[in-house]
Amino acid sequence: MSQVIGEGSVALFHYTLRGDDGAVIDTSDGRGAMAYLHGHGNIVPGLEAAMVGKATGDAFDVAVAPADGYGEFDASAVQQVHRSQLPAGFEPQVGMPLQAQGPDGQGFVVFVHAVEGAYVSLTTNHPLAGQTLHFAIRIEEVRDATAEELAHGHVHGPGGHHH
Ligand code: ZN
């Protein structure tokens, strides 16, 4: 019996992510398989749950609701700023990440939500918040994680971290 995905597995998989309108948001095509360590939150919860029990060669589609994806869209987490408040040379485009700093000096990421003339709306919502994620998945390989990968909480080597 071939190995299936569960706690302590590393899986390499190909994916295509589409929105509700069917348009492709992201895909591993041309980039090679993506690797993740199961049980460590490396991928969104809804996709991680759908991976359990899958084996090499399996292909499946899964629709992940916002709550199990990048969260619901929080309309209160949007703030409009003047372009002059943005870092020099930053050309805002919708979905772009920007490093921000809180009052305590702690860094966090905000995303460009909208650009309206001299004003830019920034949000802490992920660009895919509020969206149902339609994944098409094909499992390329399933193996046991190494002790080092388990200690780091991520995959090393092809499709994973290189350090
Ligand atoms: Zn590592």
Q: Does 96 score more than 60 pLDDT?
A: yes
* pLDDT number for residue 103: 86
Q: Are residues 115 and 45 in the same domain?
A: no
Domain assignment present for residue 111? The answer is: yes
Q: What is the pLDDT of residue 101?
A: 86
Find the CATH number of the domain harbouring 119.
2.40.10.330
pLDDT exceeds 90 at position 62: yes
- In the reported structure, the alpha carbon of residue 149 is separated from the centroid of ligand 1 by a whole-number distance in angstroms of 6
Residue 82 lies in a domain: yes
CA of 144 to the centre of ligand 1 (A): 15
Tell me, yes or no, whether 48 and 118 share the same domain.
Answer: no
Give distance in angstroms: CA of 129 to centre of ligand 1.
Answer: 28
Average pLDDT over residues 75-81: 95
d(CA 43, CA 131) in angstroms, rounded, equals: 16
Q: How far is the CA of 8 from the centre of ligand 1 (A)?
A: 15
pLDDT over threshold 70, residue 2 = no
Q: Which residues neighbour ligand 1 (ion) by CB within 5 Å?
A: 152, 161
57 and 96 in a single domain? The answer is no
Expressed as residue numbers, the domain containing 105 is: 75-123
Residue 1 scores a pLDDT above 60:
no
Q: Check residues 24 and 100 and name the one with the higher pLDDT.
A: 24
Q: How far is the CA of 33 from the centre of ligand 1 (A)?
A: 18
Asked if pLDDT for residue 64 goes beyond 70, the answer is yes
Tell me the per-residue pLDDT of 123-138, one tens digit each, with 9 for 90 and over.
Answer: 999 999 999 999 999 9
Residue 88 vs residues 2, 16, 27, 47, 58: alpha-carbon distances, Å? 54, 35, 32, 38, 48
Task: Give the percent of the chain with pLDDT over 90.
Answer: 90
Q: Are residues 115 and 66 in the same domain?
A: no
| 14 and 61 housed in the same domain | yes
Q: With left for phi above 0 and alpha for psi between -120 and 50, is residue 70 left, alpha or beta?
A: alpha
CA of 30 to the centre of ligand 1 (A): 24
Tell me the pTM: 0.85
Distance (angstroms) between ligand 1 centre and the Cα of 160 equals: 9
DSSP type of residue 6: -
